[in-house]
Amino acid sequence: MVPSQTMLSEKATLSGTISDSLDSAPRRRITLTEQFWVDSYQFLLSRGYRLRPRYHTSWVPSWGNGSPIRQRSEDFFASYAPHALDGRCLKDNRKVVLKRVKGKELEILRHLDALRSDARNRTIPILDYIPFPGTEWTFVVMPYGRPFNSPPFHCRDEFVDAMRQYIEGLQFIHEHNIVHFDVAPQNMLTEECRLIPRGSHWSHPDSHSGHRGDFFSWKNRCSLRPALQYYYIDFGLSMHFPHRDSARMTGTLRTFPMIPELSLTVPYNPFYVDVFQLGLVMSRIIDVYPALEEFRPVAASLTRDDPHTRATLEGALQQLNSVHDGMLPLRRRRIWDKGTTRWKKVTRIVFGGQWGLPDH
């Protein structure tokens, strides 16, 4: 069945309230945000992708008349992401994310994805494009990822590797005259399949099954070869300009409204804003890990008030590598995020995980 335009309405997909208009008992537990995916289930299945049981058109809650929490039912947990959901590729059972995009975002994703020969390309790979019949939307299929800073960094090498990839990735995007304009933690992912062998739940990424009380285990990034990959996602605010130097726009940002030049009336160069945003992300990670304080000058150089005196991405990369090169004996020494208790340290060292993860 092909969903109607009504099913695609922004009002329906953005709401997180429980639908009272659905007649059957199972459907009353589906949110309006999720209803789009229920209506898309058979279409996506016909294209080779299966959503979780919760979104099957004939879904019956697995917990029956019992308690979903006590029975640890995976299908109890709702998703409130309006445009994306996880699923499985039928061909290889690979866990993926399906996102519906259109217009400028789709054009930019196609353009950047065609440039995979450049090793600095840190935009999320697109595994498949699925046009949605009768609409202007296209489903893009991407590898399943997780927040880049979760689970916690184990050592300085891990932090530097992540920041190096993000600096190079932003360099690459800018060299193609594209501004991301939403460089923020929620749009910066790392691959999950090697980092979390048991996987995580879409609705609660700090658990394997969706239950926050689970013991959550992972591997240290520095133990993985080849190195873990980091990606930028969500190009919904991105723009292409003919020339970087003359690029101008107005507007503010929800995630980082404090960037000095942001204005609704005075035009500014958005490429400098991208640089500032990446510096803020780096600074906030340093705030969480006292042992990373040596890298504070790198973040500070990217977040100078005057856009014209901010470090270039090339300069920041050189500075990052210079600090890293000067601390050879400390690179692999374990670092701890603030607030880590002795018990959590023991469970991470001995068991490779902990019950629940801190919020970063």
Find all residues with CB under 8 Å of 83, minimum gap 6, and list them: 13, 99, 100, 101
β-partners of residue 128 are: 141
Whole-angstrom Cα distance, residue 141 to residue 146?
Answer: 15
The residues spanned by each domain of the chain are 8-82, 144-355
Rounded to 10°, the helix 313-325/270-288 angle is 20
pLDDT-derived band at 358 (thresholds 50, 70, 90) equals low
Find all residues with CB under 8 Å of 314, minimum gap 6, and list them: 171
pLDDT in tens, 257-294: 999 999 999 999 999 999 999 999 999 999 999 999 99
Above 90 in pLDDT, residue 72? Answer: no
Above 90 in pLDDT, residue 127? Answer: yes
CA distances from 318 to 138, 160, 167, 233 (A): 39, 12, 10, 25
pLDDT-derived band at 26 (thresholds 50, 70, 90) equals very low
| The predicted structure's pLDDT at residue 64 | 79
Span 122-135, average pLDDT: 97
Whole-angstrom Cα distance, residue 308 to residue 293?
Answer: 25
Of the candidate CATH numbers 1.20.120.430, 2.170.120.30, 1.10.510.10, 3.40.640.10, the domain formed by 144-355 belongs to: 1.10.510.10
pLDDT in tens, 157-176: 999 999 999 999 999 999 99
User: In a 10 Å sphere around its CB, with 0-12 CB exposed, 13-18 middle and 19+ buried, how is residue 89 labelled?
Assistant: middle
Nearest to 162 by CA among 178, 185, 182: 185
Tell me the whole-structure pTM to 2 decimals: 0.89
**Percentage of residues of the chain with pLDDT beyond 90:** 78
Above 50 in pLDDT, residue 3? Answer: no
